[in-house]
Amino acid sequence: MKAYVKQHEGNVSFLQQDLTESGSAAKVITNAVGTWGSLDILVNNAGVQIRNNILDYKNVSFLQQDLTESGSAAKVITNAVGTWGSLDILVNNAGVQIRNNILDYKNVSFLQQDLTESGSAAKVIANAVGTWGPLDILVNNAGVQIRNNILDYKDEDWQNVIDINLNATYYMAHEAAKVMTEQGSGKIINIGSMQSYRAGKNIFPYAASKHGVVGITRAYADALAPYNIQVNALSPGYIRTDMTKVIEEDSVRGPEIKGHIPSREWGVPENLMGPLIFLASEASDYVTGISLPVDGGYLLR
């Protein structure tokens, strides 16, 4: 078995270690900290499967090389041929990550639309297709929350929350599905909540709507899977936003929620970026029908 630690592209170190030996874990971690100074990420990826004598393949060699250096590609290939005699397979897996603000990209368009209006979902989807052509990703992110105690909750407030949080999610997904089934691909991401799992004190239609969002997600995932369309829900925990500000600042509820989160910290919108990109990308092509909590461990308790 082999354990290795990677700091960033170009700078990689390897340590070959039998992880079944006593003290091997401490040795690997000590080596990583001694080499890089800190330990930011641990991926426990050691594993074994015995099938058709796969463990007979024991001949592996490593070469540390900065691929940005002039002549580095030739050096890598020459090393491989010199070591093994021939080059049968090349897998180019080097990569970098670049983050930009969405407004830095010139190809962005906006449409303001009241999603409670009849025919609004069809209008939004038609506008997207008319502007860009294919429809690859739909993120159903419209939502509203109205708080009141149970006996004073107004019928119009119930209807307003359900119309935006649940009905609009259904209509948008329905219209998107018409396009995506024709093109044979697509991603639909619905936004759930902690209230998709819990009762939701004083936010009755919100809790009902977010339970419903997960139900729609699962039903659509099942129905659209044959068309190569993945449908998933992203369920944020207690994230610091304008909507949650009143709860966070509440003298009773705020500390209660913070104390329930294992990390003892509210999340920020940036915490949702990575999970959302995952669900919208090819990395999730074999993931459908799930509700992914991004909650700092809130649901553990």
CA-nearest of 107, 119, 118, 173 to 142 is 173
- Nearest-CA neighbor of 116 among 163, 169, 185? 163
Structure tokens at 57: 């393949």
Cβ atoms of 15 and 4 within 8 Å: the answer is yes
Q: Which two tokens mark 139?
A: 């993120």
In angstroms, the CA 238 to CA 261 distance is 9
Instruction: Look up 206 and say whether it is catalytic.
Output: yes
For residues 29 and 51, give the distance between their C-alpha atoms in angstroms, rounded to a whole number.
31
What is the DSSP secondary-structure string of 9-36? Answer: TTEEEEE---TTSTTHHHHHHHHHHHHH
Asked whether 267 and 240 are in contact (CB, 8 A), the reply is: yes
User: 262 by DSSP, 3-state: which?
Assistant: coil
The DSSP string of 82-106 is HHHSS---------------GGGSS
Contact 130, 144 (CB under 8 A): no
For residue 129, CA distances in Å to 113, 181, 199, 276 come to: 16, 14, 38, 22
Q: Is 271 within 8 Å of 239 (Cβ atoms)?
A: yes
Determine the Cα–Cα distance for residues 161 and 123; give it in Å rounded to an integer. 21
Of 206, 220, 238, 298, catalytic = 206
CB atoms within 10 A of CB 210: 30
Please give the positions annotated as active site: 206
